[in-house]
Structure 1
Amino acid sequence: MSTDKKINVGVIGYGLSAKVFHIPFIQALPDYNLYAIVQRSPKSGDDASADHPSIKLFRSADDLFSDEKVDLVIVTSIPETHYEFTQKAIESGKHVVVEKPFVPSSKEARELVKLAKEKKRLLAVYQNRRWDQDFVTLKQVLASGKLGEIAEFETHFDRFRPEPPTRTTWKTQVSPASGALYDLGSHLLDQVYHLFGAPNSVTGFVQVQRKGLKTGDSPPDACTVLLRYGSPEDEMLVTVKSSAISPEQDQLRFWVRGTKGSFKKYHLDVQEPQLLGGVKLSNSDFGVEPASSHGTLTLADTDGKFNSETVPSIEPPPTYVEYYRILAKALKGEGEVPVSGDDAADVLKIIELAQASSDNGNLQAW
C-alpha cells in the first residue's frame, strides 16, 4: 500500500465496540478514512449514516466485501460471526482487524492465520489493553530489574456486580466465546502472554458466582487461571483472576513479587470509563490516571528492611491510539501488526486449557 494513500476502513457492526473502541481512534489519525459501516437495522437515534454522513452505509457485510475501495475491514460483531466475516474479508482481498476474543477456538484462529498468509493480507486482533497506562508502566518496572527474579505475578479484573445482568448481550448468554474467560480473561491472558509467552501448564477454575444464575443457563462470570513458567528449581506462578463478587472499594489490579521487591497497583485503566463518559481523545486528561491510582514499589535492602515509593504512571500515556498508529505503519510495509493472529491463537489455547482443567479438575500441560 502506498505510504501517502489514506487507508479506507469498513467497520462491521455499529454497537459499543465500534462506536467507542474503534471509530474514535480511526478518526484520530490522518492515515485512515472512515469509508463504510455495516449496520443491519439503523433506527432513529442509532443510525451510522446520521452520525457519519460522509460514509457509505451497508446493510450486508457481503456488500462491504465486494467494494474494491475498502482496504481494511474491522470486525466488531459478536464472536460467533468472527470466523465467517474474517474469512470472507481476507478472501475478498481486505486486511482485517478482529475484536477480541478473535474467534471461539484456537483451531479456527490458526486456520485464519494460515489463510491470511496465503492471501498475503494482514490480520490483527484488537487486544487494546496492551496500551493501558498501568500495563505499560508495569513493563517498565519489570525491565528495570528492580524486582529481581519474579516469583509470583498476579493480574486482576475484579468487580462487584452481585445482581444478575438486566441487559441481554452475547456476554450474558451461553454462546460460543461467551463468559468471563473469553471476555475479561482474554485481556488479562493476552497481557501475560505478551510478557512471558506460553506457559508450561495451565490450571483453571471457571464458575458462575452471582446468585440467581445457574451454570449451563448463564455463561461463567468468574475465572481464576494459574499459569506455571520456568523450571521446578526456578518457577514463576502467574495468577489471572476475574471475579463478579469482589466487594472492595479499591480493586487490586497487579501484584508482582520478586526476590528484591514487589509492585502493587490498584484500579483499572481510565480510558474505557472516559470513552463511555464522552471524554474526547483530544482532551489533555485522556488516558491519564489520577495520582491516587499509581502503583507502589517496595524494595528490600540488605538489612531486611523495606522501603516503599510511589511509581508514577508513564506520561504521556500511549492510549489506544497507539494500536492503530502501529497498524497504519504495518499496512504501509513498515513493521508488524500490533497484535498478531498467532498471538491470539495461543491465548485462545490457554483459554481452552483453562476450561478443560476446570471441567476435569486436572492440570493441563501446554
Structure 2
Amino acid sequence: MTATQTLQVGLVSFGYAGRTFHAPLLQATPGLQLAAVASSQAEAVNTVLGADVSVVPDAAALLALPLDLIVIASPNDTHHPLARDALMAGKAVVIDKPMALDLTEATELVALAARQQRLLSVFHNRRWDGDFLSAAALLQNGRLGRVVQAALYFDRFRPEVRQRWRESAAPGGGLWADLGPHLLDQALQLFGPPVTLQCELASQRDGAVADDWFQARLGYASGLRVLLQASTLAALPGPRFELHGTLGSLRIWGLDGQEDALKAGQRPDPARLAQWGRHPGHAELALPQAGTPAELQPPQSLALQQGDYTRYYAGLRDALLGLAANPVPPAEALAVMQLLDLGRASAKAGHALPVTGLAIPESAMPAAT
C-alpha cells in the first residue's frame, strides 16, 4: 500500500452500529472508501449511503470482493466467526466492541491475525468522546494531584424492554456486554490495569430478560478505587465522570453528543471538523486557592474538549498505510475482554476477584488535544 492509496472498505451489517457509526464515519474519512455493504436491506443502504455503494447479500459475498478492510458491525455472537473468515480471506479487520463473546474467542482471533499478518482492531470509539479527552488531559497535567477515587457513569432512561438482540438473553446480549466495554476501556486508558475487580449485574426493568444495570469496582495497588456503573432507569442521570484527587476534584455532566448527532443524520465534514463533536454538557473543577491548600476556590467551569470519532478511522487508515500505530491494538482489546469475563465470574461468585496478567502500555492513553 502507498500513502496516496484509497483503501477499499466493506461493512458487514447495516443495523444500528453499522448505520449510525461505521458507515458515516468511514465516508467522512479521507483515504477510505466504503465500497460495499453486506445487508439484506439493499434499498435502505442505497437510500442512506448512495448508489455508489454496492450491496451484497451476505458476508461471504463481501469477502469475495477486492477489499482492503472489513468492518464487522453485526450482532456480538457473530464477531468471532465473521472476523475469522475475513482474516482467513486475507483482509484487515475492524470489529465493533466487544471484540468477541469471551476471552477465548478473542485470543483465537489475535493469534490468527498474527499468523495471517493482517491488522486487527476493535472500535473502542469512546476514547474519542470529548468528556473522556477532557478527563485524560486533566490527569496528564496533574492538576488533580494523586487521584484516589473515580467514578465513570453511563446513565440512560429506557424503561421499555425492546425486542432486539442487545436486550435479549442470547449470548452477547445485556448491558454488561454493551456498555461494559466502553467503561472498562476508558478506565484502563485513564488509570491502567487494576489488581481487583468486583462486579454486580442486575435486571431491573419490568420484563427484562438480560442484565440492564451493572456496577463494577476496580481496585488498584496505589489505593485508587474506580467505580463503573451503567443503568437503563436513570431519569435523573448523575455525572458522566467524577474524579477526586489530593489537589482537587472534577465532575463532568452529560454524554458526548456525537452518537445523537449521527442518529439525527448529521455527518462530520473533513473540511469543517471544528464544527463537529462539541460536547453538550459541562464540567466543574474545584482546586485549592493559591498558597492555601486547605481552602478551595469557588468551583470553576472547565471547557470540554471536542470529541471526534473520525480520529479512530483516520488512525486506522494510517496504520494500514504503515504511517502510524494501530489506534486500538489487539492487546488492549484483549484486556477489556479479560475484564468482561472476570466481571461475569465476580457477579456469579458474589465477591471481588484478583486481576492477573493484564498489562496496558502507558502510551495507550490518547494524547490530549
Structure 2 length normalisation: TM-score?
0.91
Question: Residue 41 of structure 2 aligns with which residue?
Answer: 42
The alignment-based identity, stated in percent, is 32
Question: Residue 87 of structure 1 aligns with which residue?
Answer: 84
Q: Aligned partners of 1:11, 1:43: CA distance in 2, in Å? A: 13
5+ residue gaps, structure 1, are none
What is the Cα-based RMSD across aligned positions, in Å? Answer: 1.6
Is residue 248 of structure 2 the alignment partner of residue 252 of structure 1?
no
- The amino acid of 2:326's aligned partner reads V
Question: Residue 282 of structure 2 aligns with which residue?
Answer: 294
Give matches, 1:167-246, under 5 Å: 167-213=162-208, 218-230=209-221, 234-246=222-234
Question: Residue 268 of structure 1 aligns with which residue?
Answer: 255
- The amino acid of 1:11's aligned partner reads L
Q: Which runs of 4+ in 1 moved over 2 A?
A: 41-44, 46-52, 282-286, 300-303
Q: Secondary structure at the match of 1:138?
A: helix
5+ residue gaps, structure 2, are 356-369
Displacement after TM superposition at 1:48 (Å): 3.8
Q: Secondary structure at the match of 1:10?
A: strand
1:331 aligned to which of 293, 300, 320? 320
Displacement after TM superposition at 1:49 (Å): 7.2
Q: Secondary structure at the match of 2:328?
A: coil
Assess if the C-alpha contact under 8 Å between 2:10 and 2:35 holds in 1.
Answer: yes
Q: Aligned partners of 1:88, 1:211: CA distance in 2, in Å? A: 39
Question: Residue 349 of structure 2 aligns with which residue?
Answer: 360
Q: Aligned partners of 1:287, 1:191: CA distance in 2, in Å? A: 18
Displacement after TM superposition at 1:159 (Å): 1.7
2:58 aligned to which of 51, 57, 60? 60
Question: Residue 154 of structure 2 aligns with which residue?
Answer: 157
String of CA shifts for 1:304-348, please: whole Å, max 9, x gaps: 11112111012xx24101001100110001121111222111111
Q: Aligned partners of 1:303, 1:277: CA distance in 2, in Å? A: 46
Q: Secondary structure at the match of 2:287?
A: strand
Displacement after TM superposition at 1:227 (Å): 0.4
Q: Aligned partners of 2:52, 2:266: CA distance in 1, in Å? A: 23
Assess if the C-alpha contact under 8 Å between 1:58 and 1:64 holds in 2.
Answer: yes
Assess if the C-alpha contact under 8 Å between 2:28 and 2:267 holds in 1.
Answer: no
Aligned residues: 349
Question: Residue 131 of structure 1 aligns with which residue?
Answer: 128
Question: Residue 361 of structure 2 aligns with which residue?
Answer: none
Is residue 331 of structure 2 the alignment partner of residue 342 of structure 1?
yes
Q: Secondary structure at the match of 1:305?
A: strand
Assess if the C-alpha contact under 8 Å between 1:226 and 1:238 holds in 2.
Answer: yes
Q: Secondary structure at the match of 2:220?
A: strand
Q: Secondary structure at the match of 2:20?
A: helix
- The amino acid of 1:346's aligned partner reads A
Question: Residue 309 of structure 1 aligns with which residue?
Answer: 300
Give matches, 1:111-150, under 5 Å: 111-150=108-147
String of CA shifts for 1:236-262, please: whole Å, max 9, x gaps: 0010000122231x5310000011101
String of CA shifts for 1:177-196, please: whole Å, max 9, x gaps: 21111101111111111122
Displacement after TM superposition at 1:303 (Å): 5.0
Displacement after TM superposition at 1:222 (Å): 0.4
Structure 1 length normalisation: TM-score?
0.91
String of CA shifts for 1:60-89, please: whole Å, max 9, x gaps: 21122122x110000011010110110010
Q: Aligned partners of 1:278, 1:160: CA distance in 2, in Å? A: 22
Question: Residue 266 of structure 2 aligns with which residue?
Answer: 279
